[in-house]
Amino acid sequence: MAYKSFEDLDVWQRSCRLAVEIFEEFRGSDFINLKNQIERSVLSIASNVAEGAERGGAKEFSQFLKIAKGSCGELRTQLYIAAKLHALESRKAKSLIAESKEISAMLEGLRKSISQPQKITRKSND
């Protein structure tokens, strides 16, 4: 897989869309501490993909993808709690949780592919 920048990565694009969806969903929430933690977790996903990609090395990129994957787990936990507290409608929680699981799987797939450098190359900025 070749990419020019992190913006080309589907996992980064989907993580950004998830972040926007979550920010919109929790706008005006009365659960301020939970809302803030959920927002930090979801921001961490796309941010770590970007930071890892920008570092340039496969080993560092892999580490940042692990961190992003951890943030997906943190986010899912918080979404389960938000649903139990009725801070989030059950059907919406299930949808957001499902998307975070798919993103987590994508992060793991990308991380595994990085261990095979011949498959991941960064295009030059010609």
**Domains annotated on the chain, with CATH:** 2-115 (1.20.1440.60)
Distance, C-alpha 94 to centroid of its chain:
16
H or E stretch covering 72: helix 58-84
The span from the CA of 60 to the CA of 63, in Å, is 5
User: For residues 71-88, b (16+ Cβ closer than 10 Å) or e, as one string?
Assistant: bbebbbebbebbbeeebb
pLDDT by residue (tens digit) across 47-104? 999 999 999 789 999 999 999 999 999 999 999 999 999 999 999 999 999 999 999 9
pLDDT in tens, 92-110: 999 999 999 999 999 999 9
What is the pTM for the complete model shown? Answer: 0.87
- Taking the C-alpha atoms of residue 38 and residue 4, their distance in angstroms, rounded to an integer, is 30
For the segment 30-49, the average pLDDT, to the nearest whole number, is: 97
